[in-house]
Amino acid sequence: MKRKLFIVLTLIVLITAFWMPDASSHKIRYIERATNEVKVEEVAGEKWLIWLYNNPVGRLSTKAIVKRKIVSTWYGNKMNSPKSKGKIATFISEYDIDTTAVVMEDFANFNEFFIRKLKKSARPINTNENVIVSPADGKVLAWDNVDESDFIVKGYKFNLNEYLQDNELAKEFAGGSMMLIRLCPTDYHRFHFPVSGIIEETKKIDGDYYSVSPIAIKKIVELFCLNKRELTLIETEDFGDIIMSEIGATMVGSIVNTYDGDVVAKGQEKGYFKFGGSSVMLIFKKGEIAIDSDILENTKKGFETQIFMGERVAIGKE
């Protein structure tokens, strides 16, 4: 009897461990801004993401191992190896990445390709003084009042104090607007300043390395307050103080800031993410800016909007 029970339990564990849910039910749909069409995102490692966040054994593995820095550091080092260069051509082909705008033509390893620089002409910056531009390529969600809006999952409110880990700063930005730009592994992975201004303060917050994919967020909606992140407070003349925050994620080796000095310009490179998906968050004080209506409407309908670094995403209120 005990032997039969052991066999049954073993079979259950094995079936659960290797069960892969139907990927079609987890497809990420977004709005292509230029055409207003609904598109389906090609997700790198999609089946494993689904397994890690939807399978019981996968969720256990995520909490016990995958979220930890050591895993992301190990994989980041692997992507720095000369052997990883062989993955570049396959990655470009599989995800149809446009390389005509890339500055370099040859890369020593995959991470060098991953943090590739683009020609300035590839991402024109909206120079209108009253315009806030996207800090990165990616897919954006936005809320005009973060205290009153559902954050990604219906019924969940974003905890600004928990995210900032600063009571006074959270009070200053209470009721403000927020934008979340998600970069997937196929995106251009350098991030830039969305406005011109003066750096008032920077802060690093240690945390985990959960995935920032919608596949993961639907299961662990509060992960933005759990992940490693960096905060930069920017003083501006036209938009009040702005918080720009970079968020680490699974397989992100590190967040690297490259800017120098306290005075920064709109469109200037701020830094880059090493291998993996990641996010950039922008937080604005109440009444200072107006987010573009198409982005807000798409968010209310449950869709991210595809954007590119340098294009308009909001304006200052007159």
Radius of gyration for the alpha carbons in the chain, expressed in angstroms and rounded: 20
Q: How confident is the model at residue 224 (pLDDT cuts 50, 70, 90)?
A: low
17 by DSSP, 3-state: which?
helix
User: pLDDT tens digit string along 135-186?
Assistant: 999 999 999 998 887 777 666 778 888 889 999 999 999 999 999 998 988 8
Burial group, residue 289, by CB count within 10 angstroms (0-12, 13-18, 19+) = buried
pTM of this prediction exceeds 0.75: yes
Write down the catalytic residue from 211, 213, 278, 279.
Answer: 278
pLDDT value for 52: 42
- Is 189 noted as a catalytic residue in this protein? no
Write down the catalytic residue from 72, 137, 187, 292.
Answer: 137
Residue 163 is classified by DSSP as H
Q: Worst-scoring range by mean pLDDT, 214-228, 244-258, 303-317?
A: 214-228
- Is 192 noted as a catalytic residue in this protein? yes
Continuous H helices in 41-151 = 46-54, 56-61, 69-80, 87-94, 110-114
Write down the catalytic residue from 84, 149, 189, 192.
Answer: 192
Q: β-strand 229-235 against 269-273: which pairing, if any?
A: unpaired
- Is 72 noted as a catalytic residue in this protein? no
* Cβ atoms 182, 279 nearer than 8 A: yes
CA 62 distance to own-chain centroid: 18
Give the sign of the dihedral formed by CA 117, CA 123, CA 129, CA 130.
negative
